[in-house]
Amino acid sequence: MKSLLKQLTETFGPSGYEENVRKLVRAEVKPLADEIKVDALGNLIARKRPSKVTKDTKRIMIAAHMDEIGLMVSHIDENGFARFSNIGGVFAKYVLGGRVRFLNGVTGVIGFDRFDKMNEIPPLDKIYIDVGATSKRDCPVKVGDVAAFDRSFVEMGNRFVAKSMDDRVGVLVAIETLRALKSTPHDVYFVFTTQEEVGTRGAGTSAFGIDPDLGIAVDVTAAADTPNAFKMEMKLGKGPCVKIQDGGMIADPRVVKWMIRAAEKNKIPYQREVLLFGSTDARAMQLSRAGVPAGCLSIPTRYVHSPSEMVEYADVQNSVKLLAALLRAKVDLGE
């Protein structure tokens, strides 16, 4: 899994520009799925049909988003410096001095030139990208060009750090679950979604098309185990998180109980998650058509939406175990 996670995180794919990630994922899931298609919004849908259709067979949607946060050039001045708008939740405190890579291969450095204010965090509209140009004429990027953070994958003991761990680690968990799932009593749609970071758009359209009986998002959640973190329970190394609530949705209580029962039955460590901000593809699935019972399996992650997001390997492995356990057995929502 390590080598695949390295490939996934080092591939560039900001929201709306997920093509290269989709190619990589497609190559991995093609031999594992019964059916593969790409829909109009670019979502990659890998279907695993049930071994036998019974009255208990459910149509289940698993959603993990392929896109990452990024930047888009909005203006180039006469000296060749590029101003930009954000694609998704780009935080000014994380970007100064960082490097970005454009989809055309150009590298840029994010700069701020007010030395009298170097201890302040300037807003995004006060900083710029330096691509080595000397004028607007020789600038190698143009308005509308897209970039993402440029950081390599590194191992720090049992912890991994990379840009776009959100949500390539969720993509990895979905792929590895499909690999481990030799058979299932359910009709499972593994959906590798687009444009989550700009409004869970891909999950909304794909859920409408699939019309699932229930949905599970696989995404990251903010770990609260650093010195001045929000008072939340999620920690690295304590297992995957079963989402109960976040800033955009309340998980279906029946789905929460089902996930917790599966974790306890299979002796998989887990954490109860109440996230005080943000949301996931589960929100879009929950609101699709007439409504879908939805939940989320979250991988605790430090420094979310920074160029150096950190996860623990054991949490990734246990996330695969929990998702596979859920999909191998009858769905019990206590109905």
Residues carrying an active site annotation: 196
Coil, strand or helix at 139? coil
303: left (phi over 0), alpha (psi -120 to 50) or beta: left
Query: Which of 111, 107, 155, 153 shows the shortest CA–CA distance to 132?
Result: 107
Q: Which residues contact 303 (CB under 8 A, 6 or more apart)?
A: 94, 309, 310
Query: Which of 200, 100, 94, 201 shows the shortest CA–CA distance to 146?
Result: 100
Q: Which residues contact 140 (CB under 8 A, 6 or more apart)?
A: 104, 106, 131, 132, 133
Residue located via tokens 């888009």? 72
Asked if residue 200 lies in contact with residue 296, where contact means CB atoms within 8 angstroms, the answer is: no
